[in-house]
Amino acid sequence: MPQPTTAQCALFPDLFKKPVQVQFDDECSSSDGGAILLKAAEVKLDLIGHLANSLEDDRQSGKVQHSLEDLLAQRIYALCSGYADGNDAGRLASDPILKLLLDRDPLEGEDLASQSTLCRFENSVGPRELYRMGVALAERVVERHRRRLGRRVRRVTIDLDPTDDPTHGGQQLALFNGHYDTWCYLPVAGFLTFNDEPESYLFATVLRPGNAPATLGAVGVLWRIIERLRQAFPQAKIRVRLDGGFANPELLDFLDAVGVEYVVAMAKNPVLQRFAEPLMRKARKRSRQTEQTEHVYGECRYKTRSWSCERRVIYKAEVTRHPGRNPKDNPRFVITNMKQSPRWLYEKLYCWRGEIENRIKELHYGLEIGRTSCTRFWANQLRVLMTAAAFVLMQELRLWASKTSCGRAQVSTLREQLIKLAARVVVSTRRVVLHLPASCPFANQWLRIARSLGAAYG
């Protein structure tokens, strides 16, 4: 373990009535004492082991100190705890709580892997293994909710949404994207929503080149998840909800062929604008009378030259008003094969895609999914997958916290309130005791979650 040095001490001689000295020298303590909940959630989810089984270990067995499962677990638990950089491994290798999460003696056990070991691991994984890991991630998410909900699932909604991941180096396939006006990757994330639940659960993240169209890889992701959902929930309806970047003929034909319900946004064009113009005039008249934003809904049958058949298109004829600005026409169009009214389809179904944006923000700002600084593209895909696994684990924790004030908390709040708790670790021949602060303001919530995860009264 690292020995304390003078650089790890600070003295405040005049700040209080008595001099205050601060020393970073307690080898039996951790700043992540609450992370024991992550281990309990992982036991329920059983995710890391399935991801590790997707990997091939071609290392020389006599020279192996850390199994692939341990390397995965170390990175995923560290991501959940707020350590997004592989460089953090050097400072955390002897952390007693992280060692405990990997089933090692927290004080006397072997230290965790170094940054260089993790770097070699990230660069050793190839595309076939990454594909299997992606399948395993989706499988565990679907299986978890099959066990949780069973026959109560009437409907599953699938959302795909791309997001930008700006790059600042020489990473493979980091290309310029005109829409985002930056050099980037363009990962796509997939989410599942069961019935009318407020939470959407991540099941896939696929890293793509920066200039990739929204539809790249979408059919493959949708085909695999639809097939698995039909096995798990044979009585449930499946809906697909996509933004305008996915509205191409091949994807629409695929959705028709597999027989799912769908709502897919479509960019405006002169033909659709002509269909919407009568209602646009009505919306402009209403907006002039009320001096407020007004919208009117309608529908038409429409077919482009590249489409194989005519489809229903609903449209929102909207005029927006903002203080100090001129009124602005804002027509929106959505392709669908559903029969409900245009207003219901747009307001009650399509607009709820906005909730997916909140989950993607959590991925960016709660778990730093954009830390894709490896030179190799596949190494960056592994980083994205490990971040996705960390997010799935945090969603599992949030699920078990549903009866507490943390039930709708964001990932960063969950971390601050439940994981970032100072702990002193005491090991005896019979047990390991974690001493958390008696003044912790979130102790009651923490204990309720721990008991829901199977902890007994001490």
Is the whole model's pTM more than 0.85, yes or no?
yes
Distance CA 299, CA 307 (A): 18
Strand partners, 20: 12
How far apart, in Å, are the Cα atoms of 256 and each of 217, 235, 252, 411? 18, 19, 6, 36
Q: How far apart are CA 421 and CA 444, in angstroms?
A: 13
CA-to-CA distance for 398 and 444, rounded, in angstroms?
Answer: 15
The CA R_g of the chain, rounded to the nearest whole Å, is 26
186 with 209: CB under 8 angstroms?
yes
Distance between CA atoms of 241 and 156, rounded to whole angstroms? 11
β-pair type (294-302, 311-320): antiparallel
Backbone angles phi, psi at 222, to 5 degrees: -65, -40
Minimal CA–CA distance to 446: which of 419, 410, 413? 419
Q: How far apart are CA 52 and CA 58, in angstroms?
A: 13
Total count of residues recorded for the chain: 458
pLDDT in tens, the chain (458 residues): 455 444 678 989 999 999 998 888 888 999 999 999 999 999 999 999 999 999 999 888 888 889 999 999 999 999 999 999 888 888 899 999 999 999 999 999 999 999 999 999 999 999 999 999 999 999 999 999 999 999 999 999 999 999 999 999 889 999 999 989 999 999 999 999 999 999 999 999 999 999 999 899 999 999 999 999 999 999 999 999 999 889 999 999 999 999 999 999 999 999 999 999 999 999 999 999 999 999 999 999 999 999 999 999 999 999 999 988 889 999 999 999 999 999 999 999 999 998 899 999 999 999 999 999 999 999 999 999 999 999 999 999 999 999 899 999 999 999 999 999 999 999 998 999 999 999 999 999 999 999 999 998 86
Residues in CB range of 246: below 8 A, 6 or more apart: 160, 214, 215, 218, 264
Token couple for 205:
């993240």
CA separation for the pair 369, 204 (Å, rounded): 13
C-alpha to C-alpha distances, 235 to 152, 153, 199, 221, 315, nearest whole angstrom = 9, 8, 21, 21, 31
End-to-end CA gap in the chain: 31
Q: Which residues contact 60 (CB under 8 A, 6 or more apart)?
A: none
Torsion angle in degrees (nearest 10) through CA of 76, 81, 82, 83: -60
